[in-house]
Amino acid sequence: MKANFIIPIIISIVLGGVCGKLVFDQYQLKEEVFNEESGVYFLQQGVYSNEASMQENTKNLSSKVYVVEDGKYYVYVGITKDVTNAKKIKDLYEGKGYSIYQKELPVSNYEFINNLEQYDILLANATKDEEIQSVLNVILASYEETVLSS
């Protein structure tokens, strides 16, 4: 009668060990979810030497965010982590007659990166210009709120 209990116990222990090793190995292979800095594509409309010039040349843009670095005003019309979305944004603005420069910059704000990944899903599914523009408005507002204001 004892032999009837020993075999299932041994099989359970072996299966538990194998399953545990598989789970542990998968855990070891996972990449970090978030690095300290994450590369993000910024779609730049232009660089201006003063605020008045920047305001005058971008008054027709429905959504934009600007960053002042070294006394120059950098105007961005889109931000994404996905290169396909970057092309979609660039095509949208170039179709309206703007010259757009794409550059990759590091962003270390975890909250913004997390939000951007969700917005990128929406942006990838957007097909109409109005839908794309709507998602861009939210992304740029999120960038201003979480990154520029901190």
Residue 3 has pLDDT above 70, yes or no: no
Q: Which of 7-11, 40-44, 53-57, 136-140 has the lowest mean pLDDT?
A: 7-11
Residue-range domain boundaries for the chain: 38-148
Q: Encode pLDDT of 34-48 as tens digits.
A: 445 568 999 999 999
pLDDT of amino acid 34: 45
Q: Which of 93, 105, 109 is nearest to 149 (CA)?
A: 109
- In total, the chain counts a number of residues equal to 150
Is the pLDDT score of 7 beyond 70? yes
- Residue, of 109 and 18, whose pLDDT is higher: 109
How far is it, in rounded angstroms, from Cα 143 to Cα 138? 9
CATH architecture of 38-148: 2-Layer Sandwich (3.30)
* CA proximity to 148, closest of 87, 71, 76, 53: 76
Question: What pLDDT digit, counting tens, does each position of 76-113 carry?
Answer: 999 999 999 999 999 999 999 999 999 999 888 888 99
Using alpha carbons, select from 150, 4, 132, 144 the residue that is nearest to residue 76.
144
* Confidence category of residue 50, pLDDT binned at 50, 70, 90: very high
Asked if residue 112 lies in contact with residue 73, where contact means CB atoms within 8 angstroms, the answer is no
